[in-house]
Chains A and B, each alone.
Chain A
């Protein structure tokens, strides 16, 4: 089997795109009392990112030849280890196929587009996500690189233009998170960068020997740091009201450029095009990772292959799980968000993220310091 090859640039993009992606989960009111000093929350987020990531980094640096499952089993016993990986898979699955599609449905409904069937569009997105996940992270990374080429310069220009116009008040907080989410404590509960970083390590961690390679770490950390800084900057410069003006800051800036002059309404266009690219990256990457982790838990085959030209098993590999996971994600995303218990689901998901992304790796690191995980078999 050919090993996956992920470059630091690809990981950087995966994390960066991931951090752009908004999921509708957050814990409200945690730091509403901070008032105009809300930037303290972002600063805390940056620190949390670094401290939280250190646990994951240290763990995989210590056991570079092991997967998350073998490490967890060595630390928590066979049942405990599998349970840990299972929870990590659930977290990632809820984040991508569920959270991403939920956001898409909300976005479509809020723009009130006629002639569009939201669930059908979400199904197309998840189908394209499955198509990408079938190939694995190397291909997803390559596609991300392709899209980064036009998107990153465009975003940079959009950030600069308001400055040239003298409207410093329109400085772009590139996080992409709607401001009302920020006040809900989106930043506090899980740092944007940390979330992407967990994904990056989970992607790389599926393949022994790769997860702790320095390029992987460098790419993931660089992206986390950039996203953190970008989201931190406006808070340190502007008061709360200024920041809160931007519900979709990238799109607001597009309006500042007044792209309508070219014949297209910028707000809707960007919503419908850029978001989908980012949404696809997250959906495909999380679908793959969740399927891989679930396959580990249930003992279904091993890692896939990086390219179709190689033998491409479907049954008996993690790919078997892609379709059920995608279909289930679509079903859950279509479930009414206002239903009773939705808020508790949000709390639970955030807590799960902290447990498997921050606390868990530290725990595993501490416990496996005394016991050595078993070597993985060569074929896995």
Chain B
């Protein structure tokens, strides 16, 4: 019967001035940096483990570092046995790499008298569980959403795209944050130059800190002064998988639960979630409701200001009298009235969005009901205005996309001002200017107004104005230039032949 000695407990190593890891301690110089001397039970020279306590999973550290090192046996090859036990360890003397890895939760192991270090991954993977989407709720869609962990997010996508064509390209961005940014695309589907252009763009990014996917969005896609989103942010894995299958690319940022999809067009936002609707008719119905929603959100205040403030004679006498009756006693001009209450609407909206859920709901009720009612009773606003404001708010929410909703809320102001100043003339010219602006935008090289301008008739018929049953969609959206535009073989045709 062999007697087994109890291992000596690991002890904090003294940071000797000229030890091999001293440079690491000096560089990080932080109180959560720990150095632990691990001694083997079988007589091997001690090893010093250097790591950041706040990043390391203690359990993994114990199982994957301490125990193997303690069991390393001099009689069974000594250092070779130790190497064998640290089978996943990376051996290097590259100081930059060592520093980088320690800062991402690895343990650096220094053997006595050696400059090289073994790097063992023990990072603390503290992420929340996969949960339901919070910003893109769908009645009939899947109930999983991305988390802050890129690994988890990749898993969610790979479960939906089990194809070897899925390419994952990783880059590290941010001098301070060292954030992992991942580009996803389908080989043979995405336009060949698109991933290359985005990777080139990533390599040119030189920032100190990457907070989330929106930072990458603005830096990478060259977002200008436009309020319109030039990339689609989503927290839904099914949406990303679907977009990849259409030849688009996705950019994932570790630490952000939102994935960027590019290119994107204005009409693409109105397709959100329609894959879960049954039949072409429902799809077209919902899509058109959204088009109407964004139109209402942008134009209703302008119509109110233009028709009641300037072009009164356009209205039939009965309508005019009814509208005038509601404004009786309101002390200031229509343009001022509508602008003031649009501002109130946006303040209430922003406050309710930024507040915790129960408070947000209360704010919405207070804003929409109490303030509106009180303003009408105090003759500060007309009843018609309250209706206009309510319709505008509902219309902007119908856009289904937060970024697009913000854009609609911003552009309604200049259009309302033009309409208030010049009536329907101003409203029309405001819309024309808006359309020029939209026509001049591009997302990753794709015109933002496509497939309307420039026209792609097949896409218009299938994905924009009308729709076809999911089984009858023969082609992918052509505006994105997929390498393989055929989605399904013609009915009855044997693909294998």
Contact of A146 among B424, B428, B429, B449 (CB under 8 A): B449
- B-contact 0/1 string along A131-168, CB 8 Å cutoff: 11001000111111111010000000000000000000
Question: Would you list which residues of chain A between 1 and 42 have a CB under 8 Å from chain B?
Answer: 5, 7, 9-10
- B453:A145 contact, CB within 8 angstroms: yes
Closest chain B CB from A331 CB (angstroms)? 20
- Chain B, residue nearest A117 (CB): B422
Closest chain A CB from B242 CB (angstroms)? 26
Residues of B within 8 A of A264 (CB): 307, 314-316
Rounded to whole angstroms, the CA-CA distance of A145 and B453 in the bound complex is 5
Contact of B425 among A144, A272, A307 (CB under 8 A): A272
Question: Would you list which residues of chain B between 197 and 228 have a CB under 8 Å from chain A?
Answer: 222, 224
Rounded to whole angstroms, the CA-CA distance of A7 and B451 in the bound complex is 13
Q: Known contacts A113-B313, A135-B436, A147-B435: does B428 contact A277 (CB below 8 Å)?
A: yes
Closest chain A CB from B296 CB (angstroms)? 15
B293 within 8 A of A: no
Question: Chain B interface: which of A50-58, A120-128, A245-253, A315-323?
Answer: A120-128
- B454:A142 contact, CB within 8 angstroms: yes
Q: Known contacts A116-B423, A264-B314, A265-B316: does B452 contact A145 (CB below 8 Å)?
A: yes
Q: Which of B315, B316, B319, B432 counts the most chain A CB atoms within 10 A? A: B432
B433 within 8 A of A: yes
A269 within 8 A of B: yes
Rounded to whole angstroms, the CA-CA distance of A146 and B434 in the bound complex is 11
- B429:A280 contact, CB within 8 angstroms: yes
Rounded to whole angstroms, the CA-CA distance of A149 and B267 in the bound complex is 14
Describe A's contact surface by its main secondary structure. Answer: helix
- A115:B440 contact, CB within 8 angstroms: no
Contact of A272 among B311, B418, B439, B452 (CB under 8 A): B311
- A268:B311 contact, CB within 8 angstroms: yes
Residues of A within 8 A of B307 (CB): 264
Closest chain B CB from A120 CB (angstroms)? 7
- A-contact 0/1 string along B437-449, CB 8 Å cutoff: 0111010000101
Rounded to whole angstroms, the CA-CA distance of A269 and B314 in the bound complex is 7
Residues of A within 8 A of B452 (CB): 145-146, 149
Rounded to whole angstroms, the CA-CA distance of A142 and B442 in the bound complex is 12
- B455:A309 contact, CB within 8 angstroms: no
B391 within 8 A of A: no
Contact of B454 among A7, A120, A309 (CB under 8 A): A7
Contact of B422 among A116, A139, A309 (CB under 8 A): A116
Contact of B310 among A108, A116, A309 (CB under 8 A): A116
Rounded to whole angstroms, the CA-CA distance of A308 and B223 in the bound complex is 12
- A263:B423 contact, CB within 8 angstroms: no
- B428:A139 contact, CB within 8 angstroms: no
B372 within 8 A of A: no
Residues of A within 8 A of B311 (CB): 113, 268, 272
- A-contact 0/1 string along B278-320, CB 8 Å cutoff: 0000000000000000000000000000010011111110010
Residues of B within 8 A of A139 (CB): 436, 439-440
A273 within 8 A of B: yes
Rounded to whole angstroms, the CA-CA distance of A235 and B266 in the bound complex is 43
B426 within 8 A of A: yes
- A276:B313 contact, CB within 8 angstroms: no
A260 within 8 A of B: yes
- A128:B429 contact, CB within 8 angstroms: yes
- B432:A113 contact, CB within 8 angstroms: no
- A263:B447 contact, CB within 8 angstroms: no
- Chain A, residue nearest B295 (CB): A150
- Chain B, residue nearest A267 (CB): B314
Contact of B436 among A125, A132, A273 (CB under 8 A): A132
Residues of A within 8 A of B313 (CB): 113-114, 265, 268
Residues of A within 8 A of B439 (CB): 135, 139, 142-143, 146
Rounded to whole angstroms, the CA-CA distance of A280 and B438 in the bound complex is 16
Rounded to whole angstroms, the CA-CA distance of A220 and B269 in the bound complex is 33
Rounded to whole angstroms, the CA-CA distance of A140 and B422 in the bound complex is 23
Residues of B within 8 A of A131 (CB): 433, 436
Residues of B within 8 A of A145 (CB): 449, 452-455
Rounded to whole angstroms, the CA-CA distance of A124 and B135 in the bound complex is 40
Rounded to whole angstroms, the CA-CA distance of A272 and B447 in the bound complex is 29
Closest chain A CB from B436 CB (angstroms)? 5
Residues of A within 8 A of B315 (CB): 263-265
- Chain A, residue nearest B437 (CB): A131
Question: Would you list which residues of chain A between 269 and 328 have a CB under 8 Å from chain B?
Answer: 269, 272-273, 276-277, 280, 284, 307-309
Q: Which 9 pairs of residues, A with B, have the shortest CB-CB distance?
A: A142-B453, A145-B453, A142-B439, A272-B424, A276-B428, A143-B439, A146-B453, A139-B439, A143-B435
Q: Could you list which residues of chain A lie within 8 angstroms of chain B, going by C-beta atoms?
A: 5, 7, 9-10, 108, 113-116, 120-121, 124-125, 128, 131-132, 135, 139-147, 149, 260, 263-265, 268-269, 272-273, 276-277, 280, 284, 307-309
A-B contact pairs, 5 of them (CB 8 A): A115-B310, A115-B423, A263-B316, A269-B314, A307-B440
Supplied contacts A132-B432, A265-B314, A272-B425, 19 more A-B pairs, CB within 8 Å: A9-B454, A10-B453, A116-B423, A120-B422, A124-B422, A141-B454, A143-B439, A144-B453, A146-B435, A147-B432, A147-B435, A263-B316, A264-B316, A265-B315, A272-B424, A276-B425, A280-B432, A307-B442, A308-B224
